[in-house]
């Protein structure tokens, strides 16, 4: 059964919708809901990992949130971030258990494509080794690459020194929605196969296998059931469900589905 990383960014999105200052700043210490308070609820629901994305534009999680969450969490913390010098410096200060490098576009609503590891090999190799060198835990920091399910990108991630690959499940989720979940319809079967092939490559080169993006209560079982799946990182669907049933229960329900 894969571990569940609960992405609590959207708790901060809700706070920022009301409390963002006119210049877009503010450290997030005034106003609710406080993402730091989401940590305990997510843990009680069974979260194995708390995931946060500290974006360069600070549109949801603020630096203050990241520091508090790192301090409060009793489970592992996964910091998603852009592959920039500023973010690597912050990660070395924060010392999360895991960093996931993602591409970041300022205009995008959420992370869109996977990281092009092949196209930025030298730069990413350097960043991965600096992140690993700054790890808090004795076992070192897990450094994960959020990539499209593509064999060449998996190989490049291995060469760059990443310890894990998080396969981008966005296209799969779109195919699932278009086919109404029927694997015999449209491109859903092919999309599942693409994920399965990439998952196999990740395991074959000896890396940890993660997946995430646009997973929800309807589609998650196809991804959770891929052989060797270690971690799923899920945010929007869980926080959206929490509006109706509370975060603890929303996480608990997703945990059950991850094991199904
Ligand atoms: N994994 C990565 C790398 C992401 O960037 C995101 C979105 O922040 C997620 C997982 C979670 O995606 P969603 O909110 O669609 O579940």
Assign residue 38 the CATH number of its domain: 3.20.20.70
Query: What confidence score (pLDDT) does residue 23 get?
Result: 53
Q: How many domains does the chain have?
A: 1
pLDDT at 248 exceeding the cut of 80: yes
Pairing of strands 229-234, 164-168: unpaired
pLDDT (mean) for 109-121: 85
For the record, the structure tokens of 145 come out as 């690459």
Query: What confidence score (pLDDT) does residue 144 get?
Result: 98
For the record, the structure tokens of 260 come out as 């199904």
For the record, the structure tokens of 192 come out as 């599942």
Report the chain's mean pLDDT, rounded to a whole number: 93
Distance of CA 167 to CAs 31, 182, 250, Å?
34, 21, 23
Percent of the chain with pLDDT over 90: 84
Phi-psi region of 178 (alpha: psi -120 to 50; beta: other; left: phi over 0): alpha
Q: What is the pLDDT of residues 177-234, one digit of tens each?
A: 999 999 998 899 999 999 999 999 999 999 999 999 999 999 999 999 999 999 999 9
Q: What is the pLDDT of residues 53-64, one digit of tens each?
A: 999 989 999 999
Ligand 1: distance of its center to the CA of 220 in Å?
Answer: 13
Pocket test for ligand 1, best of 7, 215, 237 (most atoms within 8 A of CB): 7
Residue in this structure with the two tokens 């969490």, named with its chain if needed: 73
Of 213, 119, 105, 204, nearest to 160 by C-alpha is: 119
Query: What confidence score (pLDDT) does residue 172 get?
Result: 97
Ligand 1: distance of its center to the CA of 11 in Å?
Answer: 14
Percent of the chain with pLDDT over 70: 91
pLDDT (mean) for 169-174: 97
With the C-alpha atoms ordered 42, 240, 57, 105, is the resulting torsion angle positive or negative? positive
pLDDT band at 260 (very low <50, low <70, confident <90, very high): low
Q: Which residues are paired to 63 by β-bridges?
A: none
Q: Domain span at residue 144? A: 3-257
Residue in this structure with the two tokens 């996964």, named with its chain if needed: 78
Distance CA 220, CA 233 (A): 11
Rounded to an integer, what is the distance from CA 40 to the centroid of its chain?
19
**Could you tell me if the CB of 212 is within 6 A of ligand 1?**
yes
Q: What is the pLDDT of residues 86-101, one digit of tens each?
A: 999 999 999 999 999 9
Which residue is closest in CA terms to ligand 1's atom 5? 111
pLDDT at 117 exceeding the cut of 80: yes
- Which ranges of the chain would DSSP assign to H, the alpha helix? 9-19, 35-45, 63-72, 85-94, 121-133, 151-160, 170-179, 188-204, 220-224, 236-245, 247-258
Cβ neighbours, 10 Å, residue 3: 18
Query: What confidence score (pLDDT) does residue 26 get?
Result: 65
pLDDT band at 31 (very low <50, low <70, confident <90, very high): confident
| Rg, Å, the chain Cα set | 17
Check residues 167 and 18 and name the one with the higher pLDDT. 167
Whole-structure pTM value? 0.94
CB distance 4 to 232 below 8 Å: yes
pLDDT at 142 exceeding the cut of 90: yes
**Could you tell me if the CB of 234 is within 6 A of ligand 1?**
yes
- CA-based angle 212:53:112, to the nearest 5? 50
Query: What confidence score (pLDDT) does residue 221 get?
Result: 96
Distance CA 244, CA 166 (A): 29
CA-239 nearest atom, ligand 1: 14
Query: What confidence score (pLDDT) does residue 108 get?
Result: 63
For the record, the structure tokens of 167 come out as 């396969």
pLDDT-wise least confident of 81-90, 133-142, 188-197, 241-250: 133-142
pLDDT-wise least confident of 56-60, 118-122, 146-150, 171-175: 56-60
Query: What confidence score (pLDDT) does residue 33 get?
Result: 94
């Amino acid at each position: 059964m894969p571990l569940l990383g609960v992405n609590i960014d959207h708790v901060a999105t809700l706070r920022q919708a009301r409390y963002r200052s006119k210049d877009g700043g503010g450290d997030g210490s005034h106003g609710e809901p406080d993402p730091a308070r989401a940590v305990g609820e997510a843990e009680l629901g069974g979260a194995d990992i708390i995931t946060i994305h500290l974006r360069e534009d600070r549109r949801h999680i603020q630096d203050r949130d990241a520091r508090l969450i790192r301090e409060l969490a009793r489970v592992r913390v996964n910091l998603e971030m852009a592959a920039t010098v500023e973010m690597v410096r912050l990660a070395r200060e924060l010392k999360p258990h895991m960093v996931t490098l993602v591409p970041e576009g300022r205009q995008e609503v959420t992370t869109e494509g996977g990281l092009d590891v092949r196209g930025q090999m030298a730069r990413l190799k350097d960043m991965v080794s600096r992140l690993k060198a700054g790890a808090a835990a004795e076992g070192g920091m897990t450094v994960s690459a959020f990539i499209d399910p593509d064999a060449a990108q998996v190989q490049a991630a291995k060469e760059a020194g990443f310890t894990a690959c998080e396969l981008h499940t966005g296209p799969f989720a779109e195919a699932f929605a278009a086919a109404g979940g029927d694997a015999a319809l449209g491109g859903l079967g092919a999309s599942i196969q693409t994920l399965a092939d990439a998952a196999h490559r990740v395991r074959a080169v000896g890396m940890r296998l993660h997946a995430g993006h646009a997973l929800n209560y309807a589609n998650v079982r196809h991804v959770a059931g891929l052989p060797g799946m270690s971690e799923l990182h899920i945010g929007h669907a869980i926080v959206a469900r929490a509006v109706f049933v509370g975060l603890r229960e929303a996480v608990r329900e997703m945990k059950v589905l991850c094991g199904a």
